[in-house]
Amino acid sequence: MTALPRPDETLARPDENLALLDETLALLDAAAELAESPLLQIAERLRRHLAPYVRCSALVIFTEDCTGRPQKKAGAEEIISRVSIEELDRIRASLPGLEPRWKEEIIAGQPRPALTLRSSTNALLVLTDPALAPGRDDDGTMAVVSRLWHLTAVRIRDKVAEAPPSYLRESRAASAERARVTAELTDQHSTTLETLLSALRSPHQSDQMARAAATELAAAALVRLRAAADRTTALLEEPVATAFERLRGDLRPLERFGGIELQFVEPPADGRALPGEVAHAARAIVRSLVLAMVEQDDVTRIRVQWDCDGTNLLVNIRDDGKGQLSLAEDGLRRIEQRVQALNGRLRMEVMAGWGVDTFVSLPLDPPATPSPEAAEWELSRREEEILQLLTGGLRNRAIAAELHVSENTVKFHLGSIFRKLGVSSRAEAIALARVTGSERAFLTTAEKRRHGE
């Protein structure tokens, strides 16, 4: 057994003990602040808390968890305003593992000394012009930096997984804007470079060596530009099969340690790719629903199924419990708000003694503005609700359950809707609503009530 130090030995260096205590408390305060940090401030806070250990001219975080803002930056404006996703992606791909690396990298268009780290969430941290703070040793400093960075990366992932309505709206808007700008830049520079290639390949040019060199440079620039556009597209979208496999990975610990059998029904591999914010939100919604189901008594098996009809991501989760869940509960209301933030729908069928069957529909496209034709239909409020549910893929029985009316009432309103739209079938009504962009323009009764209509 190791002998305890004598009191006089413990008190021999009180200044060192106090300094160690102060540093420990400072680290705990840093960890607490990073754990609670909003995403918009997390880069600046991480840079501030790393300054006592490593100083840098700029700090850049690159994470695909945030589809709207994959870069989070703080520091020198000439660096953070020019660093590109292409540069960061190249650095991350070159890192062999999770160990920190001191190496010159191309950042913001020029070589710079950099400290780079990759996290277990596949996020990247870059510190430009790094220098150890005075009195710090390499090993101890890197241990602190790695741990604070890991905490930050996990915070980013978990914050995105919460999918609050404000974040989802902001993410979708930012993603759409970035896609628009990228498309414009691609068209502009592609035209310029293609014109340059045509001119330099002209037989009227006499300086063959100059023409060959210029052609090679222009061709390389085209390749880089196209690669950057493809990379941006990859950030904006995620294949449905890949998104579902990530969900399985998220839920695997629950199956391993929670004693729950999870059954997964995979989506078609060739289904439409999911917008990044939809994929993240869907995984967060499913995780929350599964955890809510696990809280019930006697649940031993949960089935999770995804499908994609080209317009919506369709999620079905079913348990074998006693049917104890209700959308009136606070936790499930918050989940429903996440669904509504993406203009989706959540429906739950509770069968007392037989379990809970939950259906979620998330549209893959942003809300559209209704055309003048939709306004001319003069649908009643109830007809608008039924048309919205119809275009969401619900059958008559499900629509009746959603609106707390009989199926005969639904059929009556559908007949009126068909007459006003000038169609003769459900398929024609759905197609016409989608063409005019009205299927997501109609508010549900609850939404209208909140707006005081």
Strand partners, 356: 350
| In the block, residue with structure tokens 């309103």 | 413
| In the block, residue with structure tokens 């968890």 | 65
- Distance CA(70)–CA(276), nearest Å, equals 11
Q: Which two tokens stand for residue 441?
A: 């323009």
349: left (phi over 0), alpha (psi -120 to 50) or beta: beta
- Distance CA(90)–CA(105), nearest Å, equals 10
Predicted pLDDT of residue 44: 92
Q: Of 205-219, 364-378, 395-409, which range is least confident?
A: 364-378
Q: Of 169-183, 213-227, 241-255, 282-296, which range is least confident?
A: 169-183
User: Which architecture characterizes domain 25-162 according to CATH?
Assistant: 2-Layer Sandwich (3.30)
- Read off the amino acid at residue 203: P
Predicted pLDDT of residue 439: 41
| In the block, residue with structure tokens 């729950």 | 260
Do 394 and 384 form a contact (C-beta atoms < 8 A)? Answer: no
Q: Cβ neighbours of residue 363 under 8 Å, at least 6 residues apart?
A: 311, 312, 342, 343, 344, 440
| In the block, residue with structure tokens 């556009």 | 229
Q: Of 74-88, 134-148, 222-236, which range is least confident?
A: 222-236
Predicted pLDDT of residue 448: 42
3-state secondary structure of 304: strand
pLDDT, greater one: 171 or 115: 115
Q: What is the pLDDT of residues 242-257, one digit of tens each?
A: 889 888 888 887 777 6
- What's the topology of domain 372-450? Arc Repressor Mutant, subunit A (1.10.10)
3-state secondary structure of 18: helix
- In this structure, are strands 261-265 and 301-308 parallel, antiparallel, or unpaired? parallel
- Read off the amino acid at residue 59: L
Q: pLDDT category, 117, cuts 50, 70, 90?
A: very high
Backbone angles phi, psi at 326, to 5 degrees: -150, 140
Do 222 and 193 form a contact (C-beta atoms < 8 A)? Answer: yes
- Tell me which residue of 266, 272, 271, 268 sits closest to 246, measured CA to CA: 266
- Distance CA(224)–CA(193), nearest Å, equals 12
- Tell me which residue of 68, 73, 31, 38 sits closest to 56, measured CA to CA: 73
Domain ranges in the chain are: 25-162, 165-237, 240-363, 372-450
- Distance CA(299)–CA(304), nearest Å, equals 14
Strand partners, 357: 318, 349
Percent of the chain with pLDDT over 70: 74
- Distance CA(131)–CA(154), nearest Å, equals 25
Predicted pLDDT of residue 449: 37
Predicted pLDDT of residue 150: 92
CATH of segment(s) 240-363: 3.30.565.10
- Read off the amino acid at residue 380: S
Q: What number is the average pLDDT over the span 292-313?
A: 87
The residue ranges of DSSP E strands in 84-164, in sequence order, are: 101-107, 110-118, 124-128, 131-132
Q: What is the pLDDT of residues 385-443, one digit of tens each?
A: 888 888 777 788 888 887 888 888 888 889 888 888 878 778 778 777 765 554 444 43
